[in-house]
Structure 1
């Protein structure tokens, strides 16, 4: 007994659609950040002088199709004990009044919405959590592609006191400014074409 032709067509179409969907999910699952070619830095001001630091250890989970940004998901975790600023600052930042690394070893970001903002440009809205405090942030991201590699660049500002970074005497913003600029360059593989 053979299936009616219309039912056969529906089954074949469904199977092809499922294969395509699984194939695109597998491609998204293969997206990777190359930490050796990526960086997350920050610039604060101490008594008006810019002070730059970087995080040496971080991880990201990226599931992103530039053609369908609204379906994307991006998650970050940053090891707050991996800062490099200066020997003195590196010894101070893990302490309770700054990052309190023993209690809050990681900062995290989880996207909630991603939207296109022009050719190769996107806005990623989500929650940034540092030291037990969580805030909504919108991160502008620019993508460029060459040789199968995607580079994501962006920067955004946070208020350190929103996250209790620098408590007690260090809450004085005339000593250490409240604004901190966070910059990143991420090198990714497995992202579809722009």
Structure 2
């Protein structure tokens, strides 16, 4: 009987120490988009294919972690020719770099329903440490995470050659996201 109690206690202890619980993303209620200015006109383009792995414990957000992978060729600008253009070498170079990724290094509380997330963003083979605010709420029994991450596209070599000129496409890009997930 003692070995059984020890096994049960060990299992409970391991569960308690594990902290954050993995959530399953609801793709139909989740989105990732890039917002930028083209010829000074705001454009929002959605990425059609991405995945997010989130281990989240609202009581212990510091034990949480997140990672996101985006298929760069899935950016939808609303025009098939433009979609093909941004997959080319000068832009995302999707043949060589099919995925952009974010991996959290820390998640800290920043007030009611607010978190600060830090991590590594990798696009087109270039990695950068980033930090951004995140809001979290429960909606329809699911945990919803929303945020925006401003970046400079040229820091990631997005828009090479003649496209380095920011008079046509601005350097500033905001990555907007909403991830809905449940246990």
Structures share a fold, TM > 0.5?
A: yes
Alpha-carbon shift at residue 14 of structure 1 (Å): 8.1
Please state if 1:160 is matched with 2:153. Answer: yes
- The equivalent of 2:53 in structure 1 is 61
The alpha-carbon distance between structure 1 residues 146 and 175, as it changes in their structure 2 partners (threshold 3 A), is closer
Inter-partner Cα distance in structure 1 for 2:85 and 2:61: 39
Q: After the TM superposition, which residues 64-79 of structure 1 pair with which residues of structure 2 at under 5 Å, given as runs? A: 64-79=56-71
Alpha-carbon shift at residue 60 of structure 1 (Å): 1.2
Instruction: Give me the TM-score of the superposition, normalised by structure 2.
Output: 0.91
Alpha-carbon shift at residue 42 of structure 1 (Å): 1.1
Inter-partner Cα distance in structure 2 for 1:62 and 1:118: 20
Q: Deviations over 1:104-133 (max 9, x none)?
A: 000010000110000111011000000010
- The equivalent of 1:5 in structure 2 is none
Alpha-carbon shift at residue 173 of structure 1 (Å): 1.0
The counterpart of 1:141, out of the listed 134, 148, 152, is 134
Q: Deviations over 1:133-167 (max 9, x none)?
A: 00111121101113421111111100000000000
Contact 2:20 2:57 in 1 (8 A): no
- The equivalent of 1:94 in structure 2 is 87
Q: Mark the structure with the bigger radius of gyration.
A: 1
Instruction: Give me the TM-score of the superposition, normalised by structure 1.
Output: 0.86
RMSD between aligned residues: 2.2
The alpha-carbon distance between structure 1 residues 66 and 26, as it changes in their structure 2 partners (threshold 3 A), is closer
Gaps of 5+ in 2: none
Q: After the TM superposition, which residues 1-194 of structure 1 pair with which residues of structure 2 at under 5 Å, given as runs? A: 15-16=8-9, 18-19=11-12, 21-22=14-15, 25=18, 28-29=21-22, 31-87=23-79, 88-190=81-183
Residue-pair matches, total: 181
Alpha-carbon shift at residue 180 of structure 1 (Å): 0.2
Contact 2:69 2:100 in 1 (8 A): yes
Secondary structure of the structure 2 residue equivalent to 1:45: strand
Inter-partner Cα distance in structure 2 for 1:43 and 1:183: 7
Alpha-carbon shift at residue 23 of structure 1 (Å): 6.8
Larger strand fraction of residues: 2
